[in-house]
Amino acid sequence: MNLTIARALNTFGMAVVVGCLIIAGAATYSLQQLRVGGAAYSNMIAGKDLVADVLPPPLYVIEAYLNANMIVDEKVTLEEARARFAPLRKDFQDRRAVWAASELPPHLKSEVANSSAAAEKFWMVLEDKYLPAIAKGDRAIVTTAGRDLTILYLEHRKAVDALVIDANKFLAKAEAEAQDASNVWQTVLLATAGLVLVGVLVGVVVIRSRVIKPILGMADYMSRLATGKYDEDVPFADRSDEIGEMAHAVAVFRSSAIERMEARRREDQTRDATEAERQRQEALEREADLKRQRVVEALATGLDHIARGDLAFRLNDPLAPEYEKLRGDFNAAIGALSGTLQAISTATESVHSGARDITSAADDLARRTEQQAAALEQTSAALNGIVDAVRKTSEMSEKARAAVTAAKQEADGSGTIVRDAITAMDTIEQSSRQIGEIITMIDEIAFQTNLLALNAGVEAARAGDAGRGFAIVAQEVRALAQRSTEAAKAIKGLISTSSSQIDAGVGLVRHTGEAFHSIGEQVARVTVLVEAIATSAHEQSVSLREVNAAVGQMDQSTQQNAAMVDETTSASHSLTDKAHDLGRLVGKFTLDGMRSAIGLARPESIGHEPPVLSFGKRIAQAFSR
């Protein structure tokens, strides 16, 4: 099925109509469901009424009043009692704040505030008097506060009953107003849907007559225009809307088509004239091609002679007038080239002679450089041996100086030890003398003890039997004194022997110390001599290294000179070869009717190794040692 714009517009109009009807029906059904007294509204009111019947409202303190009556017979602390009533108090304050900020009418807000004021007094009596009295167990205050709570509760209930009556009146009035508004808006919605439907139908009719029909007419005209019928004027060109702009564009296409037809006729006339001119130009070009072909053949003949080396050839046959200058230029170029080659031949002979002289001089310079390199090589080798020997001597001197220094340190240490030994021997000798004096004292004490024991024996003998025990003691003391005397004499003898031996040892140690002192002085003198030798060897090594560096620089300079000589020799031989080749090439040409007779003898190649190359090898061997 071909869906045209008209059919699409009709389909769209029908779809809009159906959509408007569906929207109107759905809106009506939804308003019926959500209106006051409808199913949804009835369900919401039933749910709220059920909750209101089951739970006490937070603004009504009936639950708090019941709990206050029930808590009388319970034994609870003040904190537990307040914790039980805290959620009820918080819900009361929250709901009071909500209704105070709501959009209720002023008289309802005033009634809510009155009921809340009585309830607030109820909460104050409950928390400040009733609950503390219950916690303390004061029945009198509990009874008095309970009576006050009942009075405040009844006052609060009276205000709540009045508020409920007024709230029901407000609810009935709001339901009636909502029902009226629902009916009004339902009527407005249906009327609006009808107006939209009428507007869509009118729009479809207008669009069909103002848009579809002109577009169909324009399409029919463009079909005729495509077949080549340009005599009809473009329809709807007088309109100022989009159809008029389309007609103007079609008019531009018609004008362009007419102009293309005129241009095609003019193009055919121009093509005929161009074809005649092209044929005339082709005839002229064929004639010019014949002339160019004769010129090319003449030039090919001349170039062939030049390729064979015949520079005496000339173009003598005349050519076309426009190419006669080319023949003259060709003959002049060959003459100039012949003269240039004659000059090159003469210069080549001179270059060859100079190259032979340069080659001979370069060979002589290479041989002299080789001899100088050989002598310098021997000098470098000998100097390297001397440097090695001096370096080894310097190293041995350093080692000898280190050994002598170590020996001097050992001798100094041994002298210190000997001095310490002499001091110890002197101390031992003094101690021996002191021990001898002590033994002498012990000997005198033993002698005095012996005398006392003897006197005690005599006195004991005088005493008779009474002094017999004392006599035995005196005898034992005398024996002990005698043994002390004998031991002291033996120790004194040993001390005397030790003293003599210590004296001998002290003397030997003194002699040893003197010998070590003498050895230290000799070692010090040897150290001075070895340090002087080491210093001299080091200075000689430094000097020889400087000489060796200078010789190395001479070797390097000689090597560079040898390289330059090698390059010069190679360049001279190459120059000779090039001069010979140049003469051979020039000899191939025939200059002004004669054959060039330049024949340069190529220099004989050197059979032995180049001097510079052997010199470089010897330098490498000398520096690798």
> Measuring CA to CA, which residue among 226, 229, 227, 245 is closest to residue 237?
245
pLDDT reported for residue 55: 47
Query: Distance between CA 154 and CA 152 in Å, rounded?
Result: 5
Distance of CA 257 to the CA centre of its chain: 69
Tens digit of pLDDT for each residue in 227-269? 777 777 778 778 887 778 888 888 887 788 778 878 888 888 8
- Backbone dihedral region for residue 464 (phi beyond 0: left; psi -120 to 50: alpha; all else: beta): left
pLDDT reported for residue 34: 55
Which residues, at least 6 apart from 152, have a Cβ–Cβ distance to it below 8 Å? 118, 119, 121, 122, 125
Check pLDDT > 80 for residue 153.
yes
Instruction: Name the least confident of 274-283, 372-381, 574-583, 616-625.
Output: 616-625
Containing 340, the helix (H) or strand (E) segment is helix 324-463
Compute the average pLDDT of residues 525-531.
72
Check pLDDT > 70 for residue 271.
yes
pLDDT reported for residue 509: 67
Tens digit of pLDDT for each residue in 104-151? 888 888 888 888 888 889 899 988 888 888 888 888 888 898 899 899
Check pLDDT > 70 for residue 602.
no
Query: Distance between CA 421 and CA 20 in Å, rounded?
Result: 136
- Residue 237 phi/psi, 5° resolution? -75, -15
Compute the average pLDDT of residues 353-379.
73
Query: Distance between CA 131 and CA 82 in Å, rounded?
Result: 7
Amino acid 360 reads S
pLDDT reported for residue 619: 44
What's the number of CA atoms in the CB half-sphere (13 Å) around residue 425? 19
Percent residues over pLDDT 90 in the chain: 1
Tens digit of pLDDT for each residue in 27-67? 777 666 555 555 555 555 555 554 454 446 677 788 888 78
pLDDT reported for residue 8: 66
pLDDT reported for residue 344: 77
Residue whose entry in the numeric block shows the structure tokens 């070797």: 555
In terms of average pLDDT, the best of 244-248, 357-361, 393-397, 598-602 is 244-248
Check pLDDT > 50 for residue 615.
no
CB–CB of 235/221 below 8 Å? yes
Instruction: Name the least confident of 26-35, 468-477, 519-528.
Output: 26-35
Instruction: Tell me if the pTM is above 0.75.
Output: no
The alpha-helical segments, DSSP class H, found in 39-138 are 39-54, 62-70, 78-100, 106-125, 131-136
- Residue 594 phi/psi, 5° resolution? -120, 155
Compute the average pLDDT of residues 378-387.
72
Class of residue 39 by CB neighbours under 10 A (exposed 0-12, middle 13-18, buried 19+): exposed
Query: Distance between CA 390 and CA 542 in Å, rounded?
Result: 10
Check pLDDT > 60 for residue 92.
yes
Check pLDDT > 80 for residue 387.
no
Tens digit of pLDDT for each residue in 190-235? 888 788 888 878 877 877 777 777 888 778 878 887 777 777 777 8
Tens digit of pLDDT for each residue in 9-20? 677 778 787 877
pLDDT band, very low/low/confident/very high, at 621 (cuts 50, 70, 90): low
Calculate the alpha carbon distances from 79 to 129, 134, 613 in Å: 14, 11, 120
CA dihedral for 445, 451, 457, 462, sign (positive or negative): negative
Residue 374 structure tokens: 């050989």
pLDDT reported for residue 622: 46
Distance between terminal CA atoms of the chain?
108
CB–CB of 475/450 below 8 Å? no
Residue 514 structure tokens: 């003197």
Which residues, at least 6 apart from 44, have a Cβ–Cβ distance to it below 8 Å? none
Containing 590, the helix (H) or strand (E) segment is strand 590-591
The larger pLDDT score, comparing residue 596 to residue 157, is at 157
Q: What value does the mean pLDDT of the chain take?
A: 74
Containing 353, the helix (H) or strand (E) segment is helix 324-463
What's the number of CA atoms in the CB half-sphere (13 Å) around residue 85? 27
Domain residue spans in the chain?
A: 5-223, 247-307, 324-597+612-623
Instruction: Tell me which fold the domain 324-597+612-623 belongs to.
Output: Helix Hairpins (1.10.287)
Residue 616 structure tokens: 């470089």
pLDDT band, very low/low/confident/very high, at 606 (cuts 50, 70, 90): very low
CB atoms within 10 A of CB 200: 18
pLDDT reported for residue 31: 63
> Measuring CA to CA, which residue among 509, 505, 521, 506 is closest to residue 412?
521
pLDDT band, very low/low/confident/very high, at 544 (cuts 50, 70, 90): low
pLDDT reported for residue 612: 41
Tens digit of pLDDT for each residue in 287-330? 778 877 877 887 788 788 777 777 777 777 787 777 788 778 87
Which residues, at least 6 apart from 452, have a Cβ–Cβ distance to it below 8 Å? 477
Check pLDDT > 80 for residue 599.
no
Check pLDDT > 60 for residue 527.
yes
The larger pLDDT score, comparing residue 281 to residue 476, is at 281
